[in-house]
Amino acid sequence: ETGVTQSPTHLIKTRGQQVTLRCSSQSGHNTVSWYQQALGQGPQFIFQYYREEENGRGNFPPRFSGLQFPNYSSELNVNALELDDSALYLCASSGQGGSTNEKLFFGSGTQLSVL
């Protein structure tokens, strides 16, 4: 089991609402990446935070936003939820901004259902 914890584990929202997902990174890690995993698909990179700054973004609209706090925990916010946002959201942490020598540790994810 990794030291990456995500909350909540499950969430149900309705279309148009806003949601905040939380992630605590593994101790000593300063980099957090977020991924979206739709049912039956591989995870897709949303964005990464390194030392509280966004450090790269995938092909997701601006209504997907994030924050990283001084303790390196992170939030993913999604506004104006759409049905297609239903997915497992994965948080992953590592040290040193994703250096090749670092290992990426994933949390168990938050399952979001949009009705």
Partner 1 sequence: GNSVTQMEGPVTLSEEAFLTINCTYTATGYPSLFWYVQYPGEGLQLLLKATKADDKGSNKGFEATYRKETTSFHLEKGSVQVSDSAVYFCALSPSPYNTDKLIFGTGTRLQVFP
**Is residue 31 at the binding interface for partner 1, with CB under 8 A as the rule?**
yes
3-state secondary structure 1-69: CCCCEEECCEEEECCCCCEEEEEECCCCCCEEEEEEECCCCCCEEEEEEECCEEEEECCCCCCEEEEEC
CB of residue 70 vs partner 1: minimum separation in angstroms? 20
**Is residue 84 at the binding interface for partner 1, with CB under 8 A as the rule?**
no
- Give the three-class secondary structure for 104: coil
- Of 18, 99, 113, 115, the one binding partner 1 (CB under 8 A) is 99
Judged by the rule CB under 8 A, the positions of this chain that interact with partner 1 are: 1-2, 4, 31, 33, 35, 40-45, 48, 55-56, 58, 90, 92, 94, 97-100, 102-104, 106-109
